[in-house]
């Protein structure tokens, strides 16, 4: 009877639950957003599907899916799943969960997953009480937090967990969620006659600011408080939408990431001589309630650190502005505050300080305000999440300025300060316009090169040792070529990499090391290569092990798209039609803005050419070598033909760049090499026999046999093709 009442109570709870709770995705296929960490082929998705999740911490703003992900894991795991809310739970609750986990493990061999929502709300003692049981594997921790775990969570817990940073949802995801809420008959409003105007939908999505919960709460309020019209329709107009969700909150916590990241961006904008970005970050801090005295203190430091004696008046101006602020207070004190910022950023009078209020209006109205990763504070967790990576230090450049992005990506090109034409401002007006144009160009390039680092995890010493062994197994020469192939690759931890026609694991070492949250797929060159490579990979953990496939058709229907595609010596002996088909096949697997790297190594000398360069042949031999070298020019023609490959790639939307270099070698001569050249079925001998007599071929072979155990000069041309998709 109690089970009956419990079931009935659960049904009532679900019926009366808020719309945001009812519409939570129940599987990964229903989950909206976070493709960078949950896309097909990426580590977290593979781990959830394989029921191999280890200790995880999900970190991100409200309404992006942290708790939902935990519930999806709960629905798919074979382990026992329990949850606590750190706001309500204490050490007693933790001990109870640990005791139950020990009992399940001892009696039934059943693993336990413990989800702790708002894990940062546990105090130090509570986190310490949990640590031993996480460390010995009694429980597997899944934590969710809106605060930086490197700052708010026990460092020992963080070091034993894999971290994933969830981003605010994009507008397209929110539109999809809105449509689903209106269409779903079971959990949404599919059975009610609700109509929403495009303007109302756009307003709800825009003001929600990437927060799915905020969007659904606003929709629920609009639907439940709107009376049906004469035809029984519930019509949500723009006016109703504006009443339901009126203002987007500025994400800012004076003790958390937003505080440190924003003041870091502000100071770097001052240092970089970007008045527009400086005004924007200043406006964000003021709107969020930051103490102006704190900002003045930081500007005084900046006046000494980044301006110095280049303009001795900088400290004087900031100090005078600070004194003026103390005298007049808010809101009029915003004028001297903005004046000090503009002076430091731009180092006679005008009304250009009004630009600050333009920036303030933009803060209130704009949606995407995320601090670009390279401007974030890198002192606390930059290594884990890549904060600060890609920042260009202006003092290292001519004129102490470099074109780079300071404003958020969606605000590039926005002008908040327009200097006048007279006096101090007029002298700098033209230079500022030139710098703004240079920054726009640099921002486009920067967005192509850098992305968010969305995850972090503990080091894997076993994988590191395996990679070290593999890198030395192919010899120093090939290892140098590996370094050339991946030189300056702007890796992201969640990148997925496809290696074409692989005969060695050497080319997979860099992506395995640099993309632990993504995935590596190796297309073996032959069935024998697949067997051999598979044996070498068996020592790796199954989640870290690259996927080996016999051909690209094995990826059909997987949904995987790759940020990197690479190979050495691919597409050999392909006809023009086969080449076009092969390029189209791997292009279909490329993600937007994917990168391609193909490395070709082409001998420039055949056996006859090597003999000629090895010494001064007799006249009779020289005549023979000249004839053979003419044949070798045809044999040594690059495969595939560069122009044909370029045409096929350009047709598929790739932008290309070639780099070539030469390498001189001493080729050891042995019986195996001679057999490869002169055996009856050897391609080289067959090519020669079309022009030369058997006696002439034997004469050439005899000359080489005289050099057994010696060397033959060889010249290699290496050509690296780097390409990028335009979409």
DSSP symbols for 80-123: EEEEEETTT--HHHHHHHHHHHHHHHHHH---EEEEEETGGGS-
Across 74-78, 384-388, 705-709, least confident range: 384-388
**Tokens 């450049």 found at:** 397
Task: Give dist(CA 376, CA 257) in Å, integer.
Answer: 9
Average confidence (pLDDT) over 184-192: 84
Instruction: For residue 620, give the 3-state DSSP assignment.
Output: helix
Does pLDDT of 359 surpass 80? no
The secondary structure element, H or E, covering residue 141 is strand 140-145
What's the CATH code, domain 257-449? 1.20.272.10
Task: Give dist(CA 189, CA 438) in Å, integer.
Answer: 50
Task: Give dist(CA 482, CA 599) in Å, integer.
Answer: 9
Phi, psi of 578 (to 5 degrees): -65, -40
* Distance from chain centroid for Cα 428: 38
Taking only the tens place, the pLDDT of each residue in 50-59 is: 888 888 888 8
Mean pLDDT for the chain?
81
Are 627 and 620 in contact by the 8 Å Cβ rule? The answer is no
According to DSSP H, which parts of 145-247 are helical? Answer: 149-152, 155-159, 171-183, 198-208, 212-224, 238-244
Number of Cβ within 10 Å of residue 524's Cβ equals 21
Task: Give dist(CA 98, CA 112) in Å, integer.
Answer: 9
How much is the pTM? 0.65
Does pLDDT of 385 surpass 70? no
Are 217 and 19 in contact by the 8 Å Cβ rule? The answer is yes
Are 352 and 342 in contact by the 8 Å Cβ rule? The answer is yes
Average confidence (pLDDT) over 553-558: 88
Confidence of residue 403 (pLDDT cuts 50, 70, 90): confident
- What end-to-end distance do the CA atoms of the chain give, in Å? 60
According to DSSP H, which parts of 615-708 are helical? Answer: 619-635, 642-651, 671-678, 683-689, 694-705
Confidence of residue 337 (pLDDT cuts 50, 70, 90): very high
- DSSP readout, 8-31? HHHHHHHHHS-HHHHT--SSGGG-
Does pLDDT of 27 surpass 70? yes
Task: Give dist(CA 503, CA 533) in Å, integer.
Answer: 8
**Tokens 């993309």 found at:** 515
So what's the pLDDT on residue 152? Answer: 78
Nearest alpha carbon to residue 347 among 314, 379, 300: 314
Does pLDDT of 552 surpass 60? yes
Number of Cβ within 10 Å of residue 581's Cβ equals 12
Taking only the tens place, the pLDDT of each residue in 65-78 is: 888 888 888 888 88
- Tell which CATH architecture fits domain 34-165: 3-Layer(aba) Sandwich (3.40)
Taking only the tens place, the pLDDT of each residue in 291-313 is: 888 899 889 988 888 877 778 78
Q: What is the bridge-based pairing of β-strands 140-145 and 547-549?
A: unpaired
Across 335-349, 378-392, 696-710, least confident range: 378-392
Are 299 and 341 in contact by the 8 Å Cβ rule? The answer is yes
Distances (CA, A) of 510 to 337, 489, 513, 516: 49, 10, 5, 10
The total number of residues shown for the chain amounts to 727
Taking only the tens place, the pLDDT of each residue in 647-665 is: 999 999 999 999 999 888 8
Average confidence (pLDDT) over 156-183: 85
The secondary structure element, H or E, covering residue 658 is strand 654-668
Across 249-258, 406-415, 546-555, least confident range: 249-258
User: CB within 8 A of 49, min separation 6: which ones?
Assistant: 28, 76
Residue spans of beta strands (DSSP E) within 413-553: 455-456, 496-502, 519-524, 547-549
What's the CATH code, domain 171-244? 1.10.8.60
Taking only the tens place, the pLDDT of each residue in 597-647 is: 999 988 888 888 888 887 777 777 888 888 888 888 888 888 788 888 999
So what's the pLDDT on residue 655? Answer: 93
Taking only the tens place, the pLDDT of each residue in 203-258 is: 888 878 778 888 888 888 888 888 888 788 888 888 888 777 755 545 555 455 56
Q: What is the bridge-based pairing of β-strands 112-117 and 140-145?
A: parallel
User: CB within 8 A of 283, min separation 6: which ones?
Assistant: 356, 359, 360, 362, 363
Average confidence (pLDDT) over 664-672: 84
Does pLDDT of 341 surpass 90? yes
Distances (CA, A) of 633 to 251, 256, 275: 66, 66, 61
Beta bridge partners of 162: 56
Residue 456: HSE in the Cβ half-sphere, 13 Å Cα cutoff: 21
* Distance from chain centroid for Cα 303: 35
Task: Give dist(CA 193, CA 190) in Å, integer.
Answer: 8
So what's the pLDDT on residue 28? Answer: 84
Instruction: For residue 178, give the 3-state DSSP assignment.
Output: helix
Q: Where are the domains of the chain?
A: 34-165, 171-244, 257-449
């Amino acid at each position: 009877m109690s089970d009956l009442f419990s079931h009935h109570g659960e049904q009532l709870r679900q019926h009366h639950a808020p719309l945001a709770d009812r519409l939570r995705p129940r599987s990964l296929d229903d989950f909206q957003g976070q493709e960078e960490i949950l896309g097909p082929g990426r580590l977290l998705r593979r781990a959830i599907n394989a029921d191999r999740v280890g200790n995880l911490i999900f970190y991100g703003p409200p309404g992006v899916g942290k708790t939902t992900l935990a519930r999806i894991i709960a629905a798919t795991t074979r382990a026992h799943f329990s949850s606590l809310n750190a706001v309500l739970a204490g050490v007693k609750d933790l001990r109870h969960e640990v005791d139950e986990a020990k009992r399940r493990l001892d009696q039934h061999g059943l693993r336990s997953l413990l989800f702790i929502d708002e894990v940062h709300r546990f105090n130090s003692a509570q986190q310490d009480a949990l640590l031993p049981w996480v460390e010995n594997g009694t429980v597997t921790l899944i934590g969710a937090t809106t605060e930086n775990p490197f700052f708010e969570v026990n460092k020992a817990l963080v070091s034993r967990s894999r971290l994933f940073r969830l981003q605010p949802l994009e507008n397209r995801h929110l539109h999809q969620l809105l449509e689903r809420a209106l269409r779903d008959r079971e959990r949404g409003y599919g059975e009610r006659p609700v109509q929403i105007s495009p303007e109302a939908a756009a307003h709800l999505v825009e003001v929600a600011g990437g927060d799915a919960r905020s969007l659904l709460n606003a929709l629920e309020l609009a639907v439940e408080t709107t009376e049906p019209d004469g035809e029984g329709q519930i019509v949500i107009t723009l006016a109703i939408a504006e009443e339901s969700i009126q203002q987007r909150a500025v994400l800012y916590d004076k003790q958390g990431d937003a505080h440190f990241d924003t003041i870091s961006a502000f100071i770097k904008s001052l240092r970089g001589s970007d008045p527009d970005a400086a005004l924007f970050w200043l406006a964000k801090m003021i709107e969020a309630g930051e103490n102006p005295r704190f900002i003045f203190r930081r500007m005084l430091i900046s006046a000494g650190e980044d301006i110095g004696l280049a303009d001795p008046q900088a400290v004087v101006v900031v100090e005078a502005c600070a004194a003026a602020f103390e005298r007049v207070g808010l809101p009029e004190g915003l004028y001297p505050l903005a004046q000090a910022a503009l002076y430091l950023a731009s180092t006679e009078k005008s009304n250009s300080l009004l630009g600050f209020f333009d920036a303030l209006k933009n803060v209130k109205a704009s949606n995407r305000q995320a601090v670009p990763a390279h401007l974030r504070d890198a002192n606390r967790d930059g290594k884990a999440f890549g904060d600060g990576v890609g920042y260009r230090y202006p003092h290292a450049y001519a004129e102490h300025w470099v074109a780079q992005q300071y404003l958020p990506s969606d605000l590039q090109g926005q002008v908040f300060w327009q200097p006048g034409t007279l006096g101090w401002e007029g002298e700098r007006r033209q230079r500022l316009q030139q710098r703004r144009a240079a920054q726009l160009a640099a921002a486009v390039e920067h967005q192509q090169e850098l992305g968010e680092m969305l995850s972090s995890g503990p080091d894997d010493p076993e994988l590191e040792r395996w990679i070290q062994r593999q890198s030395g197994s192919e010899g120093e020469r090939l290892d140098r070529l590996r370094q050339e192939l991946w030189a300056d690759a702007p890796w992201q931890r969640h990148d997925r990499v496809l290696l074409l026609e692989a005969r060695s694991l050497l080319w997979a070492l860099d992506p395995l090391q640099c993309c632990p949250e993504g995935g590596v797929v190796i297309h073996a060159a032959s069935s024998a290569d697949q067997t051999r490579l598979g044996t070498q990979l068996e020592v790796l953990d199954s989640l870290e092990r690259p996927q080996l496939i016999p051909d690209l058709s094995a990826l059909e229907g997987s949904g995987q798209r790759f940020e990197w595609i690479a190979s050495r010596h691919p597409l050999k002996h392909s006809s023009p039609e086969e080449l076009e088909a092969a390029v189209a096949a791997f292009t279909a697997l490329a993600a937007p803005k994917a990168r391609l790297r193909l490395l070709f190594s082409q001998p420039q000398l055949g056996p006859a050419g090597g003999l000629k360069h090895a010494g001064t042949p007799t006249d009779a031999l020289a005549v023979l070598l000249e004839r053979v070298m003419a044949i070798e020019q045809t044999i040594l023609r690059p495969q595939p033909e560069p122009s044909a490959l370029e045409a096929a790639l350009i047709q598929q939307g790739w932008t290309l760049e070639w780099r070539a270099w030469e390498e001189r070698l001493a080729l050891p001569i042995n019986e195996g090499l001679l057999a490869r050249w002169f055996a009856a079925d050897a391609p080289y001998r067959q090519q020669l026999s079309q022009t030369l007599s058997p006696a002439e071929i034997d004469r050439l072979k005899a000359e080489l046999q005289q050099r057994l155990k010696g060397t033959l000069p060889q010249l290699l041309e290496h050509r690296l093709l780097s390409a990028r998709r335009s979409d």
